[in-house]
A and B are shown apart, each in its own frame.
Chain A
Amino acid sequence: MELVVRPLVALALLGACVVAALVATHSLSLALLAAVLLALLLRAPWRRARLYLLGIVVSSFGLFLIWPLTAHVGSHPLWNGPILPVLGSIDVTSEELAAGAVQTLRLATVALAFAVWALRLDHDRIVREARLARRSVLTVALATRLIPTLERDAAGFVEALRGRGVAVEGVRGRSRLLAPLVASSLERALTLAESMEARGYGRSGRPLRARSRLNWRERAALAFSLLLVVISLLWL
């Protein structure tokens, strides 16, 4: 599915969404941003998008549960709980719920922007067209690919264990795979680094591609990105 603007411009738009999400304080503005990004994400293949959606839902829901219990603001209590040694008074106020909702939407918006970057943007083109910090851009693109690779590796571990009759169930069973997954990723990263070096990565004198002119959509998108940042700083 092709985007109507080049990936670098789409990246600028996503960056503006992230800035807006970080500075906006109104839940309605955040909800609107999240809805737009969700709509973009849902146009990616479902089998790839569902993992990201699951992660976003779980982390956002977790934050929404934890926030009112750890924050201590507001004068309209909805529930009074016990006093715990480190956390103090565990209670829930309507102000804490509202603040929790804003933080949850903020987290969800930033995570959705990352998911759109991971699934909808052509990273190859971004790396090749980047004129600044190309190594960092390549590193981020490779790190993004780590997520599906980890998913495949995790499936491989589960299969290898089931093949020996070892069931991998529950949080404890799956958490056992965390260290091997990290070790496996590090091994893979070493092989990749070796292969990249053998193919000349790091040599100086790589010519830049000729810069093509932005079309009207791209100019409009860049202007909108700028406008979004300004609006979010002033009013959202």
Chain B
Amino acid sequence: MSALIARVEKLAFAYPETSVAALTDISLELEGGEVVLVLGRSGSGKSTLLRALAGLVPHFHGGRFSGSVSVAGYDTRSTAPAALAGTVATLFQDPEDQIVFERVASEVAFGPENLGLQPGEVMKRVESSLAAVGAEHLLERTTRDLSGGELQRVCLASALALEPELLLLDEPTSQLDPEGAEAFLELVGRLARERGMAVVLSEQRPALPLEICDRVLFLERGRLLLDASHAQAVRWLEESAPDFVEPFEPVTRQVGDPGEVTCRIEGVGYAYRPATPVLENVSLEIRRGEIVALAGPNGSGKTTLAKLACGLLEAQEGRVERWGRASYLSQYPGRYVVCERAEDEVALGIGGDLSRARRWLDELGLGGSERRHPRDLSSGERERLGLATVLATEPDLLVLDEPTRGVDPGRKRELGELLQAGASGRATLLVSHDLAFARSIADRVVSLAKQEALVGA
């Protein structure tokens, strides 16, 4: 029988200045060597549960806390998160925001140094944890030059260097392409078994993590609805939350003949640095009424092509032609809000037309939030606000860069339906790592390979 690593008893928690509980009556136990997948819709309390296990709730966030959480015998209420660091390690959602140092070696060494280890032991841990995640070649690199996938691995190495008994991963694959995500999750499963540590990971794309996990928790509005083994959980999900396990069914829509060309890209090339082209000789045509999905591994130039299509970048080689208005939704729309009210944020791109802005907020389920500050909205709501800001412009060419990042399956389905509903009046270019979603709503999926010509499918 595996050792008990953590015990949560009747945990309830509410963030400061809110009346709604983020977690209610949660009880569970975690054993060494098991991989536990936490599922739930946006705002269901997944991240809060992970923070409670790390002691960050309530120590860092404040709020009302009741019940108990103990990890390796430490009561998290009386033990500060920093003191738990050798026992618990956390990988947060956005790796870019957790980087402290400029060099990979210093970054990975930060945790072991804080534990008070001697320099020789620190270096050993740095090298072994980078090797464990297949990133030993990054040791001397600077963190600002790493790709999203590389950064994710370095952050995982930083967590592993603490040699934790409990590893917490908050949506660790949200920035990775399918191959990268699969490799990452396989690695996590292997490390859990080899090192005997408990791993708790939350995910919005459950298909891959469901393959490697031993146990599944399902949260809804802060309550634990399910705590079951993998096999039992799959049966429960099929009955009670089918959108988490069923393949994403294509949304049926009447597809007529595509209309006129809205964007034509011919033989385009682009390089951010000399001699390292991101795109070479790429051609693509998008017509009104079409939804075209752009897929490909990290670093293949999908975002660059999307920006060229809508005019945010000028082609260095070849030609890009556009007819009508183009709008672009960036990868982190919730981060880039500039106004103090949600309705003003949407109205900004449509000449201050507040009634149209309110209509689009309503359309995206944000009715009632018109006068709220965008930064007071939840992360899911902010993503939808971002979508409203571009849909309200009623563009001829709509370009969406990873619109399903961090979006739960239910919201994803709604997004698919929304994009389908307005598809006939515009051309839509969708950049996505989420192939299931892309295939379900797109008329064509176009794959980009690294520095190679475009292949249509």
Contact = CB atoms under 8 A, between A and B. Distances in A.
Interface residues of B, number: 59
A197 B82 contact: yes
A124 B103 contact: yes
Contacts of B59: 197
Contact of A203 (B90, B99, B114): B114
Nearest to B373: A183
A38 B375 CA distance: 41
Interface stretch (B64-72, B226-234, B330-338): B330-338
B82 A183 contact: no
A160 B399 CA distance: 12
A172 interface: no
Contacts of B159: 199
B106 A124 contact: yes
B330 A160 contact: yes
Interface in B197-244: none
Contacts of A146: none
B338 A177 contact: yes
A203 B390 CA distance: 46
B349 A166 contact: yes
Nearest to A161: B338
A82 interface: no
Given A161-B338, A191-B92, A200-B82, A210 B349 contact: no
A163 B336 CA distance: 11
B115 interface: yes
Contacts of A156: 330, 332, 335-336
Nearest to B345: A164
Contact of B110 (A145, A157, A199): A199
Nearest to A205: B116
B253 interface: no
Given A156-B330, A192-B100, A200-B85, A163 B312 contact: yes
A206 B310 contact: no
A195 to B, nearest CB: 4
Given A194-B56, A199-B162, A207 B330 contact: no
B90 A198 contact: yes
Contacts of A193: 60
A180 B114 contact: no
Contacts of B106: 124, 127-128
Interface in A133-162: 138, 142, 145, 148, 153, 156-157, 159-162
Nearest to A189: B97
Nearest to A165: B349
A148 B144 contact: yes
Nearest to A145: B102
A62 B165 CA distance: 57
B83 A203 contact: yes
B175 interface: no
Contacts of A159: 307, 312, 328, 330, 336
B86 interface: yes
22 contacts: A124-B102, A127-B106, A153-B335, A156-B336, A159-B312, A163-B312, A163-B390, A164-B328, A164-B348, A164-B349, A164-B390, A165-B327, A180-B338, A184-B336, A187-B335, A191-B92, A192-B100, A196-B100, A198-B88, A199-B159, A200-B115, A203-B114
Interface of A: 122-124, 127-128, 138, 142, 145, 148, 153, 156-157, 159-166, 176-177, 180, 183-184, 187-188, 191-203, 205-207, 209-210
Question: Closest 4 interchain pairs by CB?
Answer: A200-B85, A200-B114, A163-B328, A164-B349
